[in-house]
A = this chain, B = another copy of it.
Amino acid sequence: MTGRSGAEVMAALGDIAPDFARYIFEFGYGDIYSRPGLDLRTRLLATVAGLVCLGHAEKELEVHVGSALNVGASREEVVEAIMQMALYAGFPAALNGLFVAKRVFAARDAEAGLQEGLQAR
């Protein structure tokens, strides 16, 4: 769900806190994200909104914007979920969030362009 960026974060923890990586996967992705009561797309859009409100979670926001796209949310939906948080957490938090989303979208476009280029050869 989180793709490569999530895996990289976890690998980097390996030498100082290996159990912590395990907790995130067991508690986070095992216990919480596998629960039936809410569809994954809504779960991820809610997480994106929550991370915007936290204010200090830029790296996790980047990972979860990607995850939201991976489970079927559109770019427009991600932008709307972030923008709406201006009402509750203020403009700075929403602005920071929009710039994170912009970076994720650009990285995906660049990667898609690269793969197209490779296939065109």
Contact = CB atoms under 8 A, between A and B. Distances in A.
Interface of A: 9, 12-13, 15-17, 19-20, 23-24, 27-28, 31-33, 35, 37-38, 41-43, 45-57, 59-60, 74-77, 79-81, 83-96, 98-99, 101-102, 105
Copies in the complex: 6
A16 B102 contact: yes
Contact of A84 (B24, B46, B101): B46
A60 to B, nearest CB: 4
8 contacts: A13-B98, A20-B86, A20-B94, A45-B45, A49-B49, A51-B53, A56-B56, A87-B90
A53 B54 contact: yes
